[in-house]
Amino acid sequence: MTPMDPARERALGGVYAFTAYLLWGFLPLYFLLLAPTGPWEVVAWRVLLSVVFCALLLTVTRGWPALMKILRTPRLLVWTAVAGALIYVNWQVYLIGTLTGHVIETSLGYFINPIVTVLLGVVVLRERLRITQWVAIGVAALAVGVIVVGYGAFPWIALTLAFSFGIYGLVKKQIGPSVDAVSGLTLETMWLTPVAVVQLLIVATTTGLTMGTAGAGHAALLCLAGVVTAVPLLLFAAGARRAPLSLVGMLQFVAPILQFLIGAFVLGEPMPLERWIGFGLVWVALILLTADSLVAARRARTAEQRAAASDVAEVV
């Protein structure tokens, strides 16, 4: 077998990760095309069709033995159930925000997410932060305060998205490489299947289901919900395995930037001065956080190179 070229693998990982974030960035437009389907019905179909799509993928890739192995590990089953609950909250709040004219606020949630991840590292994992990271967290908190006071509304959609996805990331860290991307998504959506069925029954008996009632084109788009959900996640998993963490960290801003542009300039959502100031402070915090991460990564590489050179010198 020909050995893999590390440089090519890193470049390929960057392409995979960028494509995943690009697709996530355009998700609001896809979900808006599903009108008149409401957020509760969309999420239910998203769960059920993801299960179907993942089952097909497991069959094609012969991944069923790996899934069976996970099913025999109670610890992993518990963690995937927790992950499923968190991703359900994330999906549901995201859909409510997108389909009720709050696309800009959903983008704010994913801008804040890296800062929340750092904060969770301190609270949950007892990690020590550098001064720049503390400053970034403080600036982000100030940004939320400006939005609440100046704009007159608590950004619950943004904060729920940021914290649900941040905690989801912590759970996935606990799972580690023991669960591959397809098996993980299969189990997470499998746990949510009863919730999705109940949700569809409630929608059917109240407002009525829209599947098949708004034309063939609408039905086809709705049926793609599973593919639209799974493909970016699988691309991201493939990219994260290959690309450097620093590159993945910078690429993660592609999605919220696109969502922000769609909300502000395509959908025409309001952006008063107070909101611009709040977003500006968040972007300052992200610049600080990104710069600090790049400097820390460079220092770590330099230290490793010096250690390696010292070892070589000792051997000689």
pLDDT tens readout for residues 97-124: 999 999 999 999 999 988 888 888 888 8
Average pLDDT over residues 57-69: 93
Q: CA geometry: angle at 211 spanning 207 and 215, to 5°?
A: 115
Close Cβ partners of 139 (under 8 Å, ≥ 6 residues apart)? 281, 282, 284, 285, 288
Stretch 148-153: mean pLDDT, rounded? 79
d(CA 137, CA 112): 9
Q: What is the mean pLDDT of residues 79-108?
A: 95
Rounded to whole angstroms, the Cα distance separating 285 from 267 reads 26
Work out the average pLDDT over 35-50.
95
Give this prediction's pTM: 0.88
Residues 127 and 124: their CA atoms lie apart, in Å, by 8
Tokens 């500006």 correspond to: 280
The model's pLDDT over 182-198, given as tens digits with 9 standing for 90+, comes to 899 999 999 999 999 99
**What's the rounded mean pLDDT across residues 18-40?**
94
The average confidence (pLDDT) of the chain is 88
Please give the share of the chain, as a percent, with pLDDT higher than 90: 54
pLDDT band at 309 (very low <50, low <70, confident <90, very high): low
> Do residues 228 and 33 make contact, with C-beta atoms less than 8 angstroms apart?
no
* Helix locations, the chain, DSSP H: 6-25, 27-32, 39-61, 64-71, 74-99, 103-123, 131-151, 156-175, 181-205, 216-223, 225-242, 245-251, 254-261, 273-315
Tell me what pLDDT residue 177 has: 77
Q: Is 8 or 267 the better-scoring residue by pLDDT?
A: 267
